[in-house]
Amino acid sequence: VPEEFTKAASILTEIQSHGYEAFFVGGSVRDALLHQPIHDVDIATSAYPEEIKQLFKRTIDVGIEHGTVLVLAGEEQYEITTFRTESTYQDFRRPDKVTFVRSLEEDLKRRDFTINALAMTVEGEIIDLFDGVADLKQQVIRAVGNPKERFHEDALRMMRGLRFASQLDFTIEEKTLAAIQEFHALLEKISVERITVEFSKLLLGQNRRAGLRPFIETECYQYCPGLKKYGAELLTFTELPNKKIDSEAEVWALLTHTMALKENELRGFLKKWKLSNQMIHEIQQLFYGLNKRLLTDWKPMDLFNLGLEAALSVEKLLFYYGQKSKLEEVRERYVNLPIHDRKELAVSGNDLLQFFDKKPGKWLGDLIQVLESAVVNGEVENSQSALTMYAKDKISEE
């Protein structure tokens, strides 16, 4: 039993000592059985949220209407979710849309895939009502129960299935896959934000191709933002070297670049996915960088403008175009740039205003830009005397 669970054991025993049931559930049990790193340890319980809140001093209501209370224990925090179901005929109460139940079995039944429907007792015993362990061994993503019904209840599960195929390097079981194929259009009803979360995880998975192929074959892509007309490009993307990509910005840059989007189409496309402005900015940098770098080697100003991290990201992506990534060389070239920021210029805007005794205006910004690239390109030394001389020449040229 991994350390993450032993750390949380006292939470389970505390709940149990008050007569309730409590189990480890979901992704953490799956990942432990796969000997993969565990992210968050989720706990399911027969206790209602109000009951959980009475048992622990430090709790946060993160989704009480869905039955989830966050319990803080030392440095750790655990999501504790009351057993719940989505059907309406249980012995229950029904705040909002979920129905709390007192049985683990009902709770496991409403989960998406057999490998995600495993529970574990505090002693480490696995509760496996849907043959999830066998599916883990066979590396299969299989819906719990009837896949058609399950995707009708929540169409996002189709995208989740595809992302688990990529993340875990599993295959999607035949009936589950057929149901995705049949009902892919239901994705239309799902909010973009939820789709984006799953698609990003798919893109970052260890076997991207294992998620992307069925994503294309089942035509799920047709109901994802901005992809409808890009079936052929998506296939090309799928056939790129399958090496895992760890950065979200990098993988989106590679995708959009393979889609051959125009520079003026890129932002609109990424906006459709409701990615954050920060993420969109990073992706744009890499996309422009790729366009440049695929044409010629880096120029000093390219490195200066992109910054080291983005330049290295672009350089890494060259691998997917069958080119060699020269990471160390790029790092060295960057480090050896005369300056790395406009602030490092030996003259400031104020210096120039005083020196030329002119009113501020567009000339000043233009001049600073000229000085900056002259320094970056090694055409002039970054000293006050050299720069004022250079500036004087430039101004008198005009």
Of 224, 282, 228, 273, the residue nearest 251 (C-alpha): 282
CB of 332 to ligand ATP, least distance (A): 38
**SS3 assignment, position 43:** strand
Interface residues for ligand ATP in 174-233 (CB under 6 A)? none
Least Å distance, CB 82 to ligand ATP, is: 13
**Which residue's CB is nearer to ligand ATP, number 162 or number 367?**
162
Residue 210, contacted partner among ligand ATP, Mg ion, none, CB below 5-8 A by kind: none
Task: Tell me the Cα Rg of the chain.
Answer: 28
In DSSP notation, 323-342 reads ----HHHHHHHHHTSS-SSG
Residue 262 phi, psi (nearest 5): -80, 155
16-24, 126-134, 155-163, 171-179 -> range binding ligand ATP (CB under 6 A): 155-163
Q: Angle 208-217/192-203 helices, nearest 10 degrees?
A: 130
Q: Site mask, ligand ATP, residues 42-81, x = CB under 6 A? A: x---------------------------------------
User: Minimum CB separation from Mg ion for residue 48, in Å?
Assistant: 22
Distance CA 189, CA 97 (A): 17
For ligand ATP, the binding residue among 156, 283, 314, 371 (CB under 6 A) is 156
116 forms part of the interface with ligand ATP (CB under 6 A): yes
Which is nearer to Mg ion, 201 or 257 (by Cβ)? 201
Interstrand relation of 42-45 and 76-82 (parallel, antiparallel or unpaired): parallel
DSSP-assigned beta bridge partners for residue 82: 45
Beta carbon of residue 175, minimum distance to ligand ATP (angstroms, whole number) = 17
**Least CB distance to ligand ATP at residue 26 (A):** 3
Q: Which stretch binds ligand ATP (CB under 6 A): 87-95, 156-164, 248-256, 258-266?
A: 156-164
Kindly report each contact of residues 266-273 with a partner whose C-beta sits within 8 Å and lies 24 or more positions away, as own/partner.
268/226, 269/225, 269/226, 272/192, 272/225, 272/226, 273/192, 273/196, 273/199, 273/225, 273/226
Q: Token digits for 277?
A: 């402005």
CB of 201 to Mg ion, least distance (A): 11
Using CB under 5 A as the binding rule, the residues of this chain from 9 to 68 that contact Mg ion are 27
Residues near Mg ion (CB under 5 A) are: 27
Residues near ligand ATP (CB under 6 A) are: 26-27, 39, 42, 111-112, 116-117, 154, 156-157, 160
